[in-house]
Amino acid sequence: MSRGVFISFEGGEGAGKSTQLRRLADRLKRDGREVVATREPGGSPGAEAIRDLLVTGEADRWSPVTETLLMYASRRDHIERVIAPALARGAVVLCDRFADSTRAYQGAGGGAAAGLIAALEVYVLEHLRPDLTLILDLPVADGLGRADGRGGAEARFESKGEAFHQRLRAGFLAIAAAEPDRCRVLDASGDEDSVAAAVWTTAGPILAARP
């Protein structure tokens, strides 16, 4: 059996990643594909326990280096227990955030050293990379306005301030520019249906190539 397809959804707060991931998952399931829809931080029981540490509490609860280490501990468990087994059996894995979020949030946004993040990628990810990364992009003020309406306890990153989120957006765009073969930037400022159409136009050919 051939390896499955791994697609990650990235972007700042309020970009609509979760909604678009769910819509793509539903479409693929209707077509008879096995789909594993998952998220980071989290996605496995151990990783979800670490998620609780990362997304709650005060904005300065953890330093960027500590955040990076926690993210990669969570990611390794997620890979071992969910992502790698699903890909091995030929499933489509759709992940709401993956390693690019650490580069953007803890790196570009928080100032964690790029060398630290790169080293962790080598040892934790090994050879695993998404086949396609969709970066949903929109102005910071618009994204934070959307995110503010969600409420709830998991608002630690939203509370880090506009300057942080401007660096975060720039970080995602820099990743896309550096890896154009893997990354596609999609305008997330439109309505849900138009963004979903752009997601399908971008992801469809890769999915069709691995039925």
Residue 30 has pLDDT above 70, yes or no: yes
CB 79 within 8 A of CB 93: no
Tell me the C-alpha distance between 204 and 23, whole Å: 13
- 127 HSE (CA, 13 A, CB side): 1
Q: Mean pLDDT lowest for which of 13-17, 73-77, 124-128, 191-195?
A: 13-17
Q: How many domains does the chain contain in total?
A: 1
CB 5 within 8 A of CB 210: yes
- pLDDT tens profile 72-128: 999 999 999 999 999 999 999 999 999 999 999 999 999 999 999 999 999 999 999
Residue 149 has pLDDT above 90, yes or no: no
Q: How confident is the model at residue 2 (pLDDT cuts 50, 70, 90)?
A: low
Q: How confident is the model at residue 155 (pLDDT cuts 50, 70, 90)?
A: confident
pLDDT at position 1: 46
Q: Report the share of the chain in percent with pLDDT over 70.
A: 96
What CATH number does residue 11 fall under? 3.40.50.300
Structure tokens at 47: 């990783």
pLDDT at position 153: 56
Q: What is the pTM of this model?
A: 0.94
**Distance set, CA 159 to CA 50, 62, 96, 117 (Å):** 19, 13, 20, 23
CB 12 within 8 A of CB 145: no
CB 210 within 8 A of CB 4: yes
**What 3-state DSSP class applies to 186?**
strand
CB 173 within 8 A of CB 161: no
pLDDT at position 58: 86
CB 199 within 8 A of CB 134: yes
Structure tokens at 200: 């399908």
- pLDDT tens profile 37-46: 999 999 999 9
Calculate mean pLDDT across residues 150-158: 67
Tell me the C-alpha distance between 104 and 12, whole Å: 9
- At 165, phi and psi to the nearest 5? -70, -30
Q: What is the span of the domain harbouring residue 143?
A: 5-209
Q: Mean pLDDT lowest for which of 61-75, 133-147, 154-168?
A: 154-168
Structure tokens at 31: 């077509």
Tell me the C-alpha distance between 111 and 173, whole Å: 16
Task: Look over the chain and give the mean of its residue pLDDT values, rounded to a whole number.
Answer: 93
